[in-house]
Amino acid sequence: MHPYLHAQENPDKPAVIMASTGAVETYAELDKASNRLAHLFRKEDLQIGDTVAVLLDNHPKFFDFAWAAQRAGLYYVAIPSRLTAAEVSYILSDSGATLLISSDSKQGVVDELHKLNPDVKVFLFGVDDNRAIEPVLAALPDGPIDDERHGTDMLYSSGTTGRPKGVRIPFPENEDIAGPNPLVMMAQGAFGFQPGCTYLSPAPLYHAAPLRWCMTVHKMGGTVIVMEKFDPEQALALIEKYKVDASQWVPTHFSRMLKLPEETRAKYDVSSLTCAVHAAAPCPIPVKEKMIEWWGPIIREYYAGSEGNGFTFINSEDWLTHKGSVGKALLGIVHICDENDNEVPVGEEGQIYFEGGAPVKYHNDPEKTKAAHNKHGWTSLGDVGKVDEDGFLYLTDRKSFMIISGGVNIYPQEIENLLVTHPKVLDAAVIGAPDEDMGEKVVAVIQPMDMADANDDFAQELEVYLRQSLSGVKVPRQIDFRAELPRVPTGKLYKRLLRDEYWGKTGSRIV
């Protein structure tokens, strides 16, 4: 179904509740607001197949935007709200977005964007200047546009140079905005979501999983509880208050809730939960064991990417007998291949490929698209893993040493490219190192031009230098110095050796 149908059948049911304020948007209000925005898109000459972007925190109007773009037949790009103006500018240019929706909290970034992307029209919530969107929307109809057509998201993944690359999938063949949806069927079938469920979303809405899961719940007529910012105790209180029965997490959320005092955790009744989905990063086995012990066998994990080329799933019962696995494929056939694209025996590690899923194509990046395919035509996200004798997949490494910190993907190449532009840096490597709270932390290993600069003052200087161009999540939390980095004569950096050293793996040696 579609939110407009739920608005007709149950207009006063909450579609969205903001956790901190308790502000409610009903299905009737969501329907009218998304219709007004769809009219705005047409007024601004956005036609079917065009691209629109949003730069918002977990804002009450986020879903107004998403559903407006969906029913207007647009590609909608959700830009991480913590990015710098230069990073946002790149995504706007690369995606071809001609209109951006943002808010008063992003005025500084938006002001810079006006210089970088002067042709992009900007509307802001919460301002009183000529960019204010509220008076414009108030003058538009709240009924549907005449040419409704199913649009879809355009999400960004890593590029070969570290810059993000867009995943621009074809529109659904069924033009009906209320047409069948595979994620709804998967949510109900594999994950056990119930129609009309109450769903807690503790993560940023600009990420693929939170955005897609929340919109799936709306298609099922459920209520989405949006946390403006994750707080472990507040999450438990919300589960009890609203009798939440479904939710989606990353392992860092689990870790932080488990670190609450036992008496604090015991205060809250979480028995209403029937499904807790998690993904985005490998979950440490002890953490998942404790979560299953606490919440019961309702923890369900999946492995997938924005590209949609494959999808694995595992429930608690199977995980307890295959600890560390991310499950069996529900979409595509899993193959583990060596460097020559040949399949390896069961239990051996290799690159993970999917056969039969959606084709992988990166926007404006034919080289990355080509690299995602092997000689069989199977596609890969670049991850390394193995399959056991029962057919369960295990991840043993991550694509191109991508760092996953608190469920957020961070790509080292972008940081390295910026570091080596500093006049006192000869070489640089960025890796992920263990972090008890975030799973991984960003570490920069620097080879300075002069080892006399290998000190705390220079480390602070580099941090300030990086913050001028990078969002805070990408700035290294630790900067170390080396007289030489492990490169071979061809120039290849043996980053695995550095990473293994920080992870304490035996047999690794820096040469």
pLDDT digits (tens, 9 = 90+) for 420-475: 888 898 888 999 999 988 889 999 999 998 999 999 999 999 999 999 989 889 99
User: What CATH fold (topology level) applies to the domain 3-256?
Assistant: Rossmann fold (3.40.50)
Q: Is the pLDDT of residue 75 over 50?
A: yes
Residue spans of the domains in the chain: they are: 3-256, 307-397, 403-502
pLDDT at residue 175, rounded to an integer: 83
Q: What is the CA radius of gyration of the chain?
A: 23
CA 497 from centroid of its chain's CA atoms: 28
pLDDT digits (tens, 9 = 90+) for 103-139: 999 999 999 999 999 999 999 999 999 999 999 999 9
pLDDT at residue 398, rounded to an integer: 64
pLDDT band at 509 (very low <50, low <70, confident <90, very high): very low
Max Cα distance, the chain (Å): 71
Distance CA 276, CA 116 (A): 42
pLDDT digits (tens, 9 = 90+) for 277-319: 998 766 778 889 999 999 999 999 999 988 889 999 999 999 9
CA nearest to 501, candidates 443, 462, 414, 453: 443
Q: Is the pLDDT of residue 269 over 70?
A: yes
E-strand ranges in 316-411 read 325-331, 333-337, 350-355, 384-387, 393-397, 403-405, 408-410
Report the predicted TM-score, pTM, of the whole model to 2 decimal places. 0.82
Q: Tell me the mean pLDDT in the region 376-390.
A: 93
Structure tokens given for 396: 């043993």
Q: How many CB atoms lie within 10 A of CB 51?
A: 20
CA nearest to 425, candidates 403, 402, 445, 401: 445
User: What CATH fold (topology level) applies to the domain 403-502?
Assistant: GMP Synthetase; Chain A, domain 3 (3.30.300)
Class of domain 307-397: mainly beta
Q: Is the pLDDT of residue 163 over 90?
A: no
Distance CA 249, CA 257 (A): 11
Q: Which amino acid is at 272?
A: S
In whole numbers, what is the pLDDT of the chain averaged over residues? 91
